[in-house]
Amino acid sequence: QSALTQPPSASGSPGQSVTISCTGTNSDVGDYNYVSWYQQHPGKAPQVMIYEVTKRPSGVPDRFSGSKSGNTASLTVSGLQAEDEADYYCSSYAGSNNLIFGGGTKLTVL
Amino acid sequence: EVQLVESGGGLVKPGGSLRLSCAASGFTFSIYSMNWVRQAPGKGLEWVSSISGRSSFIYYADSVKDRFTISRDNDKKSLYLQMNSLRAEDTAVYFCARGPSGASRPLFLDFWGLGTLVTVSS
């Protein structure tokens, strides 16, 4: 399976909203509701922000939300804060017992 | 508090072997699927392997199939990755990550360790 497609970078000013896309195919994102999003600060372990497309783990601010339309999933960060600056990765179950990731998006808070 | 601590990384020559370990605490280890995910220097994440709670279901990425073996010891609350026939392209930080409880497939990963660096070089 090929990796999911994410934009390499995204940016926004504090308080603004930014949306990061994650495009797959009808064999992964489009076929399963198992899209998740991970935040990774430099040198740190990834942290799940969204799982099963829209679910937010306890402790994750409600500024983070997920959605999916067809073969494209999206992560929206509202009310951007400085600490949101990080790399973000999407992943999807891809059938045949495989989990695939996107290439990652570097989010910059201007 | 859920904690996952990897160990066993290091420098190994091409064709060599290495065994990674992951010590888990803070949750009922035996009911959760566990995974290994790697990240090459400056690159993105790549799922490597998963194992269900009772080791009934084991899966590998094509890139490591027939070279890596995942296993677990529920009594010791530990996850392992035996890596053989290592190649330069296996150089990466290897993360231990928890999957959903009761899952037989790699669906998502809700807790991650800090990782251990594996460098394959002559």
pLDDT (0 to 100) of residue B106: 87
Instruction: Give the model's pLDDT for residue B96.
Output: 97
Nearest to B108 among A34, A45, A47 (CB): A34
Average pLDDT score over chain B: 96
Interface test with A, best of B108, B109, B116 (most A CBs within 10 A): B108
Q: Does A58 touch chain B (CB under 8 A)?
A: no
Chain A partners within 8 Å of B97 (Cβ): 46
CB contact residues (below 8 A), chain B span 57-96, against chain A: 57, 59, 61, 95
Structure confidence by residue, pLDDT tens digits, A29-86: 999 999 999 999 998 999 999 999 999 999 999 999 999 999 999 999 999 999 999 9
Q: Let me know: does B67 contact B85? Beta carbons within 8 Å.
A: yes
- pLDDT value at position B79? 98
Mean pLDDT of the B21-26 span = 98
Distance, CA of A83 to CA of B21 (rounded, Å): 31
pLDDT score of B39 more than 90: yes
Look at residue A2 in the predicted model and tell me its pLDDT.
Answer: 73
A97 to chain B: nearest residue by CA?
B105
The pLDDT of residue A12 is 95
Give all strands (DSSP E) within B26-84, no chain letters.
Answer: 32-39, 45-51, 58-60, 68-73, 78-83
Handedness of CA A95, A101, A102, A103 (dihedral sign): negative
* Interface contact flag, B106 A93, Cβ < 8 Å: yes
Identify the band that residue A95 occupies on the pLDDT scale cut at 50, 70 and 90.
confident
> Average pLDDT for residues B52-73, to the nearest whole number?
96
Q: What is the pLDDT of residue B116?
A: 97
Whether the CB of A33 is below 8 Å from some CB of chain B: the reply is: no
Q: What is the pLDDT of residue A1?
A: 62
